[in-house]
């Protein structure tokens, strides 16, 4: 019977995190550089955020709410979002 228990997912070893939290959004992650912001379309209720994996846009209410942001750990969303934003910034 003990074999049927599912082990919880563990933290990925070897992954370095330079932000205050691994899953939430903090105010130090918000991009304030006008040169970058002017090149990217950001809806009025959202902010541009940058972390170790790149750029993405989230709702302003997600900043400093002490909750995990599903967009931050969704790898498919992150890849697509980061590629689109990076192309706009560099291109």
pLDDT tens digits, 31-88: 999 999 999 999 999 999 999 889 999 999 999 999 999 988 888 999 999 999 999 9
Tell me, what's the pLDDT at 9? 57
Tell me, what's the pLDDT at 14? 65
Instruction: Write down the pTM of the prediction.
Output: 0.78
Collapsed DSSP state (helix, strand, coil) of residue 29: helix
CB-based contacts of 28, cutoff 8 Å, min separation 6: 19, 20
User: What beta strand segments (E) does the chain contain?
Assistant: 46-51, 54-59
Tell me, what's the pLDDT at 17? 78
């Amino acid at each position: 019977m003990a074999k049927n228990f599912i082990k919880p997912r563990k933290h990925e070893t070897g992954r370095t995190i330079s932000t205050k939290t691994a899953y939430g959004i903090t105010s130090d992650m918000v991009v304030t550089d006008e040169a970058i912001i002017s090149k990217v379309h950001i809806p009025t209720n959202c902010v541009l955020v940058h972390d170790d994996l790149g750029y993405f846009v989230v709702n302003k209410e997600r900043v400093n709410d002490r909750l995990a942001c599903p967009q931050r750990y969704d790898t498919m969303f992150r890849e697509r979002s980061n590629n689109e934003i990076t192309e706009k910034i560099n291109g």
